[in-house]
Structures are given as C-alpha cells and as structure tokens.
Amino acid sequence: MVIQQPVIEMNSVMRGFGDADNAIQGLIRKRILQLPDEGALPAEARFGGAREFLGRAVHHSAPGYGKEGNVYRAKDSREGRMGIGVGRGIQAVGITAAGASLMKLADAFNEHNSQPIGGPETY
C-alpha cells in the first residue's frame, strides 16, 4: 500500500523565506566553499572531502531551488526536507556558539581593561 504525501503549497511569506535561504546558501556554496553549479568537485580538489560534505549535508539547496540534477540540491522527499532542517539547525548552533564565544571574549577584554594602569593599589 502506497501512502500519498500531501502537496504543500507555499504562501508568499514562506516563498520569501525560501528565496532568502536559497540566496544565502548559494552564496556560501559558490563564494566560500567554491562548489560548482553542476557536477561535483574533482577528486584532487583542495579540502575536497570537507567541502563536499558541507555542500551536500549542511548548505544544500531546497527542492525547487537551484539547477535540476545539482548534487547540492536536497531531494523532494520527507528525508530531503528533514535534511534541510538538520542542516539549518547545525548552522544555527554554529552561529550561536560563535556569538557566545565572542561575547565571552569581549567580556574578558572589558574586565582586563577596566582596571587602572598599575592596579588599584597605585591610587
């Protein structure tokens, strides 16, 4: 028995979010990871394995975006959409961790620089 999946229609707000997400992910794939629009990286590419993993698992495009047959495009299935959610979740955790680290670093600088020169005993 085959269960039909319901077709999800996107409203204009969700389409706008999808367009923004595709633009950001496309920028990361093209400018930062330097991944091709068609096909995969050559086997001898520098850091090819890591770049391929990030392109396929974290920064892939959603179904309906990107070129048809692109290896960095999620499949139009439940698993593909779950992969998109996991990939975007990984990005959110990474950005949050980076922000928390920068906040701690800024606090450490402020704490160090708030002491008078020579220490409190000189005043």
For the CA atoms of 80, 82, 85, 87, the dihedral, rounded to the nearest 10 degrees, stands at: -60
Spatial distance between the Cα atoms of 33 and 52, rounded to a whole number of angstroms: 9
Q: Single out the residue of 63, 93, 56, 57 nearest to residue 78, CA to CA.
A: 63
Mean pLDDT, the chain, integer: 84
Any residues with CB less than 8 A from the CB of 84 and at least 6 apart, and which? 60, 62, 74
Residue count of the chain:
123
Q: How many CB atoms lie within 10 A of CB 40?
A: 16
pTM over 0.95: no
Contact between 73 and 67 (Cβ < 8 Å): yes
Confidence of residue 11 (pLDDT cuts 50, 70, 90): confident
DSSP of 16-63? HHHHHHHHHHHHIIIIIS---SSS---TTSTTHHHHHHIIIIISPBPT
In the chain, what are the domain boundaries? 15-38+45-115
List, for residues 89-101, the tens digit of each pLDDT value. 999 999 999 999 9
At 3 the pLDDT is 60
pLDDT above 70 (res 30): yes
List, for residues 49-87, the tens digit of each pLDDT value. 999 999 999 998 888 887 777 888 888 889 988 999 999
Phi, psi for 84 (deg, rounded to 5): -65, -45
Percent of the chain with pLDDT over 70: 82
- Taking phi over 0 as left and psi of -120 to 50 as alpha, with beta for the rest, 70 belongs to beta
